[in-house]
Structure formats: structure tokens, C-alpha cells
Structure 1
Amino acid sequence: MPSFDIVSKLKKDEVQNAVDNANRELQTRYDFRGVEASYNFDKTKNTVKVEADEEFQVQQMDEILRMKLVKRNIEATAAEFSEITRSGKKSIQNVTFKEGIDKELAKKIIKIIKDAKLKVDAKINDDIIRVTGKKRDDLQATIALVRESKIEQPLQYENFRD
């Protein structure tokens, strides 16, 4: 019976490369000369810490990071930018990256599939949604349906089996 998995995975290597490229750009930009500004990526927490002297500099750094993420094929919806906080002489912002499908999002995706009345069956396995059906065309229609729906998290479709 044909099936596929809906997953949400983050390419941590690509995020690390984007952060490294953003740090390199900071070193070459004229408006950041003499400013202590940096990006720090924590792979265990999937967060990037953005630090600069002033709040407007952090906002500029956000744009640099977004551009570098897009160049590395990381969707903008994967990053969640927190409020800019002031800590002593530094302005700090944390950028959190979403990974995995939580229960609420999984239920929302399954509801979208069931409301479309496609001849497929969707089940939740931890942070993966397994979709099975009798026909390959039904599965492809399901992928198209989920792509069209307005979901705030990047999704990938894996293990397509006939």
C-alpha cells in the first residue's frame, strides 16, 4: 500500500553555514566597524543569539540573517524572532528554529486532509505524520493539499513508497 511521511526537519549544517556567512558579512560592512556585534548558533537548542550595541543594529542584523537563511534554502517560517531585550550595554535577540511537528499542528494537518475527503488515512507517529492510501494519485493530491494550506512551519515529504 503506497505511503509517505510528513515531517519537519531543520538542516542544522545549513543554519550553521548561514550564521557563519552572516558573521563574515558583519566584519566587512562599514556600518558595523568598531561595533561588537555577533551571531552565535547553539545546535542543541536550535537557537541563534544576535548581539549588538544598539537595537537598530540588531534589526539590521536580522535582515542579514534572513537573507543568508534564504540563500541556504531554509524557509523564513522556520525561524521565530523574539523581542529585542537590553542587557547592560548590549541589545540581544534570540532566534528559535522550529523542528518537528507538535500534536496541535499534526491534528490540524490531519483535519485538513479529512475535510478534503481524500481516500487516504493519516496517522500521528511522534513528530511524523504517516499518510497511506490505495492510489498514488491520492497521495500526490494530499501533498498538494497540505502545501496549499497556510501552515506556519516548513514541511517535508519523505519515504514516498509505492
Structure 2
Amino acid sequence: MSAPLSPNFNLSAAVAIALISVTAVGAGAVGAAASPSAVPTISLLDGKTFVAQSGEKGKQASNKDTIAFRYGRFLSEGCSPYGFGDAPYQATVDGAAVRFHAETHSPTHGTMIWDGIVKDDAIEATSIWNRERWYWKIKREYWYRGQRKK
């Protein structure tokens, strides 16, 4: 047998609190186990796009690239025609700069491992392109230097 409700009990307030709690957990509140696709990730470089010169390590610039950070994902537009899509990136603060790391994959051209640093409106990065077949391997390193797109 349950006790009778107190005259000060507000059923509407109790229901509202319960709904807010369920909604917060479903939206990815701290401690919740939300699906990564259900909650957009915001990272340190999100919303920034850079236009960069690039070239093979030890050589002069031979290409232009646009590097974009959106919703926790990294994209090299110059690599898109080769099947390299966007990928999650990790970013950490290093003094007045932000360091980042990403790995992009192409079904036909292999993997690119990206590391770079953004300070103010400038970006400097490297990528290592790996493509392996059973009878040969390619491993090339590229550099990127550019400015934030206005």
C-alpha cells in the first residue's frame, strides 16, 4: 500500500523533471552512452578552412589544396578526386597553437596520415601517403603551408 501524496506534491513538475532527464541523457549528456552519429562532434578547429601550397618533401610547391575542418572531421579537397574522403581528426592545444592528426582512406589509393599545426591564421602540415599492393609499396611524404580562407 502506498502513502497518500502530500498536498504540496506537484505532479506536473515531477513529470517535467523526468522528461528533461530522459532528454538530456538521449542528447549525449555527460555519462550518457549516445551513438556518435546522433551527436555532432565539435572540435578545436571546426569551421576553419585553409588554402595551402603543397609539394613532395624536399621539393618546391607543385599543388594547391584546400584543407577544411567541419563537425570534428578533416578534409583535403585536393585528395578528394583520388577517393580520399573526410575523416575524424584529433586536436590538442600546444601553447598558442593547435596540433591536429587525421587519417584519410581511399578504396583505390591507400591511406594518408596527416599531422599539422595551426597558429593564428596559418597552417603547416605533412601527410604520408601509403599505398600497398602484394607486389609493391608506395610511401611518399608531402608538406603543406597556407593561410586561413577568408
TM-score, normalised to structure 2, is 0.24
Structure with the higher strand share, 1 or 2:
2
Question: Structure 1 or 2: larger helix share?
Answer: 1
Bigger Rg, structure 1 or 2: 2
The TM-score normalised by the length of structure 1 is 0.23
Structure possessing the higher relative contact order (Cα contacts under 8 Å, 6 or more residues apart): 1
